[in-house]
Amino acid sequence: MKKLKRFLIISICLIFIESAANAQSLVSPAAPGFDVVCTDIPHGKIDTISYNSTTVGTTRQALIYTPPGYSTNQKYPVLYLLHGIGGDKMEWLNGGHPEVILDNLYTANKVEPMIVVMPNGRAMKDDRATGNIFDREKVEAFATFEKDLLNDLIPYIEKNYPVLTNRESRAIAGLSMGGGQSLNFGLGNLDKFAWVGGFSSAPNTKKPEELVPDPAKAKQQLKLLWLSCGDKDGLINFSKRTSDYLEANSVPHHYLIIPDGGHDFKVWKLSLYNFAQLLFKN
Ligand code: FER
């Protein structure tokens, strides 16, 4: 039984690596096995970091993924990857296993080496996802996180890790509340971020005219603007209205509607899989 399971896992991994290498379109359904652990390939590493937040007045934690072959002799671009309203710094790791998706993409040579930082996006003293997660002060803390990110977390990462610090080497993406944060903070700080992704973005997403008041500037500055959402997600209008506005104002962007997609990790894993392959490339 064990042998059979191992055989099946290795076969799926081989099929994935093969088909990924031949794939034509970057925005495609995922290759089979894209999220299956492959034991016989190099793996990245997940660590926990602690940084001093002048914004919140506490020491806050984040997860950091360093890629396979990570070396301090190299400099890496960074993706800040944000969670949803019921989550915390562990949500992506527990629900989406981005380390598996990325390890597999590295092996298939489909992704640029990058560091991924998964913070707690609820910038308040007690930042746990407990009690009523829709409390006003908790929801507001998702907006406060913009300051924590820009003034505390990014400087910490740039001081302590070998990372590139130009805007073209910084990306922000997230799921739901984290998708809204990514669009708000990324598009609101084009001097800091050139790669922006919102997956199933929540009602915290600013109105399109506020998000992108200067379409020509956004068009000129952005390397990638990504929106995705499940077609069965009750929040899809926040993505759609954004895409419609971008379309009307000639701002290039990807808008991936995932068939039979709900508000869940099936959509978020597929989104990360496709988004990651576009990052930090020309
Ligand atoms: C809301 C519905 C959903 C809302 C936030 C969400 C702040 C977020 C969902 C998620 O992060 O999964 O009305 O208001």
- Kindly state the average pLDDT of the residues 164-183: 99
Task: Say if residue 195's pLDDT is above 50.
Answer: yes
- Give me 125's structure tokens: 């003293």
Q: What is the pLDDT of residues 210-262, one digit of tens each?
A: 999 999 999 999 999 999 999 999 999 999 999 999 999 999 999 999 999 99
Give the whole-angstrom CA distance, residue 182 versus residue 184.
Answer: 6
Beta carbons of 77 and 115 less than 8 angstroms apart: yes
| Percentage above 90 pLDDT, the chain | 88
Does residue 176 line the site of ligand 1, with CB under 6 A? Answer: yes
User: Letter for the amino acid at 150?
Assistant: L
pLDDT of residue 24: 29
pLDDT digit string, tens, across residues 7-22:
444 444 544 433 333 3
pLDDT of 30 reads: 83
Pick from 227, 215, 228, 164: nearest CA to 192: 164
User: Per-residue pLDDT averaged across 136-160, rounded?
Assistant: 99
DSSP string computed for 179-202: HHHHHHHHHHTTTT-SEEEEES--
Provide the 8-state DSSP code for 79. Answer: E
d(CA 38, CA 54): 40
To test the pocket of ligand 1, the residue of 134, 138, 184, 237 to mutate (highest count of ligand atoms within 8 Å of its CB) is: 134
Confidence at residue 34, expressed as pLDDT on a 0 to 100 scale? 97
State yes or no: pLDDT of 171 exceeds 70. Answer: yes
User: For the domain 2-278, what is the CATH code?
Assistant: 3.40.50.1820
Distances 63 to 19, 121, 155, 273 between C-alpha atoms, Å: 31, 12, 15, 19
3-state secondary structure at position 107:
helix
CA-nearest residue for atom 14, ligand 1, is 203
The C-alpha atoms of residue 237 and residue 260 are separated, in whole angstroms, by 16
Quick: pLDDT tens for 80-132: 999 999 999 999 999 999 999 999 999 999 999 999 999 999 999 999 999 99
Nearest to 242 by CA among 186, 165, 162: 186
H/E stretch holding 267 reads helix 265-278
234 lines ligand 1 (CB under 6 A): no
Q: How far is the CA of 231 from the centre of ligand 1 (A)?
A: 17
At 275, phi and psi to the nearest 5? -60, -45
pLDDT at residue number 22: 31
Report whether residue 143 contacts ligand 1, using a CB cutoff of 6 Å. Answer: no
Take atom 1 of ligand 1 and give the residue whose Cα is closest: 203
Closest CA to 204 of 232, 225, 183, 173: 183
Average pLDDT score over residue span 166-172: 98
Cβ of 205 closer than 6 Å to ligand 1, yes or no, is: no
Q: From atom 3 of ligand 1, which residue's Cα is the shortest distance away?
A: 202
Residue of 231, 237, 235, 229 whose CA lies nearest to 254: 229
pLDDT over 70 at 206, yes or no? yes
Does ligand 1 lie within 6 Å of residue 186's CB atom? no
Instruction: State if residue 82 touches ligand 1 by the CB under 6 angstroms criterion.
Output: no
Banded model confidence at residue 4, pLDDT cuts 50, 70, 90: low
Instruction: Residue 37: count other Cβ atoms within 10 Å of its Cβ.
Output: 15
Q: Dig out the tokens for 11 from the structure.
A: 């076969």
CB of 202 closer than 6 A to ligand 1? yes
78 class by beta-carbon count within 10 Å (0-12 exposed, 13-18 middle, 19+ buried)? buried
Share of the chain above pLDDT 70, in %: 90
State the distance from the centre of ligand 1 to the C-alpha of 216, rounded, in angstroms. Answer: 30
The pLDDT score that the predictor gives to residue 5 is: 54
Give the pair of three-digit tokens for residue 116. Answer: 């991924």
Model pTM score: 0.93
The domains of the chain are located at 2-278
Res 16: pLDDT: 47
End-to-end Cα spacing for the chain: 46
Q: What is the mean pLDDT of the chain?
A: 92
